[in-house]
């Protein structure tokens, strides 16, 4: 199995994560034999605006964002506006798809499949909805979005990735038009099950399923080892 380095963070400040991702991407584009990485983490509260989004998708005034401690940043990923914050599983995938023999469409499918298999462990049936990337669930006779896909693939090198609402503060989603969708609302595992979930166990379950779906072997390294590895090459 192809090896992929795993780096876990309890919480990683979003702007720092962006610098790390940009550095990894530059290294991988300049050296296509460079390592693959999987970053598993949670973020500080932030609204990120993708290439299809605009500032108008954030419906809350600036003073409310400041009161709630929510940062705002435009990023070079697919999708529109989304929210990241504590209690949300965020995974960034830095892969060479050519080396992994995965097409861009397969890459998106595998991210969704990993999340669907993960939700099944918690007794939740996740599914795809045509025209809406991400993972969806049925709850109280309604359709809800529980996970977002906002990855980037350029020259078959990937960055950014996915976000699954676990114990997320869902009130913050009410301050935006999430992913440009007005007819469906986002939901969390905590809301569905009515209890707080051990997110470190979610990390563990995601990583195990990722190895199976992506057919990659994860090798854990520390955040300091990651920075040393990318710093030595840069």
Q: Of 6, 78, 60, whose CA–CA distance to 35 is shortest?
A: 6
Q: Which of 39, 90, 102, 179 is catalytic?
A: 179
9's CB contacts (< 8 A; 6+ apart) are 39, 40, 41, 42, 223
CB-based burial of residue 84 (10 Å sphere; 0-12 exposed, 13-18 middle, 19+ buried)?
buried
Question: 3-class SS at 18?
Answer: helix
Q: Of 58, 75, 87, 62, whose CA–CA distance to 203 is shortest?
A: 87
CB atoms < 10 A from the CB of 196, how many? 11
Question: 3-class SS at 73?
Answer: strand
Q: Of 16, 189, 199, 172, whose CA–CA distance to 81 is shortest?
A: 172
Cα separation, 111 vs 152, whole angstroms = 13
Q: Is 134 left (phi over 0), alpha (psi -120 to 50) or beta?
A: left
Catalytic (active site) residue 4? no
- Write out the catalytic residue numbers: 179
């Amino acid at each position: 199995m192809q090896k992929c380095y795993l780096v876990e963070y309890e919480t990683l400040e979003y702007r720092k994560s962006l610098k790390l991702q940009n550095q990894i991407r530059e290294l991988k584009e300049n050296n296509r034999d460079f390592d693959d990485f999987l970053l598993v983490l949670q973020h500080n509260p932030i609204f990120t605006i993708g290439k299809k989004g605009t500032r108008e998708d954030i419906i809350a005034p600036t003073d409310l964002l400041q009161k709630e401690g929510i940062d705002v940043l435009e990023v070079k990923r697919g999708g529109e506006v989304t929210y990241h914050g504590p209690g949300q599983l965020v995974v960034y995938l830095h892969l060479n798809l050519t080396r992994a023999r995965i097409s861009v469409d397969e890459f998106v499918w595998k991210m969704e499949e990993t999340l669907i298999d993960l939700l099944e462990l918690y007794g939740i049936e996740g599914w795809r909805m045509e025209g809406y990337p991400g993972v969806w669930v049925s709850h109280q006779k309604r359709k809800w979005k529980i996970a977002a896909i906002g990855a980037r693939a350029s020259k078959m090198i990937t960055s950014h990735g996915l976000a699954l609402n676990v114990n997320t503060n869902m009130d913050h989603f009410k301050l935006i038009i999430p992913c440009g969708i007005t007819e469906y609302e986002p939901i969390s595992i905590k809301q569905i099950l009515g209890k707080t979930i051990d997110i470190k166990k979610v990390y563990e379950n995601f990583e195990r399923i990722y190895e199976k779906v992506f057919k990659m072997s994860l090798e854990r390294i520390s955040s300091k080892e990651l920075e040393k590895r990318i710093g030595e090459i840069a």
